[in-house]
């Protein structure tokens, strides 16, 4: 009997275009990439086996430059040296940031802590902040955040406030990121978890990142849960695991949101001269000075448009057939 086969048409993305897209994104931060990093950020539609050939093709064509083992979109040795200096500083600062992150796990209702920002990409400027991503117990985010920021006020006394930049909070009811774009995908895959089961749950809830990066599953699997607690944490949670705790959390959300709305209306600036902004809700809070995320995505899209105009051939889809 003759077997009938169904022919399906598929489209794959050229490995060259995947490389150009990632170099374009990190060029916004003036951060060249190694071939291993490009592999880590490779899109699932790319052919990983052809990565080295694709990089060679791009360098030969003059689309990409290779300087001291780093790949970038313009031939600029200063950017490579800047990155190397940032890497050295990050190596020195990361152990301290990990210890601080593990300390933050001991605060009431904190269920997970990760290092985010430039340090999570092993880059640090001379005035580097330690940025932290915090997961809290459901419906207790604002109690947790208030305790942590009251503590941060004490750090101003000894000038270490930049080591405690707790910029992003989610509670267990809102682990899946609302914004799903190149910026949030990169921030997620580069997070360095330092404690709490909440980080593993966060990675699992954001499996959509696997649609952006081939290597995302390993980010989840490499994390081993480490429990961090304290008598203070246990005592506060026992005291507030009731209706009073519910009311207090709602009150702190209202007060904090009102205070930040006033800052925005007054056009207050942070120490970097950027407009202060805090996005708030019952289950989330994150800092977004000068609409930082939106500006990064906009700059990225602009650079992709320029690359497509200059090198259109690399962005044409590859058609292939599969018979079943």
pLDDT of residue 49: 72
3-class DSSP string for 166-199: EEEEEECCCCCCCCCCHHHHHHHHHCEEEECHHH
Q: Between 218 and 257, where is the model more confident?
A: 257
Q: Sorting pLDDT into bands at 50, 70 and 90, what band is 5?
A: very low
Identify whether the C-beta of residue 186 lies closer than 8 Å to the C-beta of residue 180.
no
Percent of the chain exceeding pLDDT 90 equals 69
Whole-prediction pTM = 0.87
Encoded tokens for 89: 């500083």
What's the half-sphere exposure (Cβ side, CA atoms, 13 Å) at 248?
16
| Rounded to 5°, angle at Cα 22 from 39 and 28 | 140
The topology (CATH level 3) of 7-75+297-323 is Arc Repressor Mutant, subunit A (1.10.10)
Q: What is the pLDDT of residues 117-145, one digit of tens each?
A: 999 999 998 888 999 999 999 999 999 99
User: Nearest CA to 133 among 254, 275, 287?
Assistant: 287
Encoded tokens for 53: 């050939």
How far from the centroid of its chain's Cα atoms is residue 126's Cα?
21
Q: What is the pLDDT of residues 31-73, one digit of tens each?
A: 999 999 999 998 887 777 788 999 999 999 999 999 999 999 9
Question: What is residue 108's DSSP assignment?
Answer: T
Helix (H) or strand (E) holding 318: strand 318-323
C-alpha distance from residue 19 to each of 117, 163, 313 (Å): 22, 34, 14
Which sequence spans correspond to the domains of the chain? 7-75+297-323, 81-287
How far apart are the C-alpha atoms of 155 and 149, rounded to whole Å? 10
pLDDT of residue 223: 54
pLDDT of residue 230: 83
Encoded tokens for 41: 């950020």
278 phi and psi, to 5 degrees? -130, 120
Identify whether the C-beta of residue 289 lies closer than 8 Å to the C-beta of residue 272.
yes
Tell me whether residue 247 is exposed, middle or buried, using C-beta atoms within 10 angstroms of its C-beta: 0 to 12, 13 to 18, 19 or more: exposed
Q: For 290, left (φ over 0), alpha (ψ -120 to 50), or beta?
A: left
Q: What is the pLDDT of residues 154-192, one digit of tens each?
A: 998 888 888 999 999 999 999 999 999 999 999 999 999
């Amino acid at each position: 009997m003759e077997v009938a086969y169904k022919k399906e048409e598929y489209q794959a993305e050229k490995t060259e275009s995947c490389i150009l897209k990632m170099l374009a994104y990190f060029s916004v931060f003036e951060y060249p990439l190694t071939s291993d990093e490009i592999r880590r950020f490779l899109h699932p539609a790319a052919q990983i086996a052809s990565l080295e050939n694709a990089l060679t093709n791009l360098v030969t064509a003059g689309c990409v430059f290779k300087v001291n083992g780093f790949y970038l979109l313009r031939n600029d040795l200063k950017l490579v040296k800047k990155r190397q200096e940032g890497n050295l500083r990050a190596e020195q600062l990361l152990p301290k940031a990990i210890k601080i992150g593990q300390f933050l796990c001991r605060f009431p209702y904190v269920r997970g802590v990760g290092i985010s920002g430039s340090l999570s990409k092993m880059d640090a400027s001379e005035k580097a902040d330690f940025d932290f991503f915090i997961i809290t117990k459901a419906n207790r985010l604002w109690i947790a955040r208030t305790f942590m920021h009251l503590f941060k006020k004490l750090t101003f006394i000894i000038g270490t406030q930049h080591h405690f930049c707790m910029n992003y909070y989610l509670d267990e009811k809102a682990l899946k990121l609302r914004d799903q774009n190149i910026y949030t995908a990169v921030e997620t895959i580069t997070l360095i978890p330092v404690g709490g089961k909440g980080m593993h749950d966060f990675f699992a809830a954001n499996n959509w990142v696997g649609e952006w990066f081939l290597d995302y599953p390993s980010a989840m699997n490499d994390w081993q849960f480490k429990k961090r607690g304290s008598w203070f944490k246990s005592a506060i949670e026992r005291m507030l695991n009731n209706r009073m705790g519910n009311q207090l959390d709602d009150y702190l959300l209202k007060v904090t949101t009102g205070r930040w709305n006033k800052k925005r209306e007054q056009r207050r600036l942070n120490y970097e001269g950027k407009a202060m902004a805090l996005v708030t809700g019952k289950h989330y809070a994150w800092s977004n000075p000068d609409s930082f995320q939106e500006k990064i995505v906009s700059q990225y899209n602009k650079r992709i448009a320029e690359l497509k105009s200059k090198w259109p051939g690399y962005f044409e889809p590859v058609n292939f057939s599969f018979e079943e």
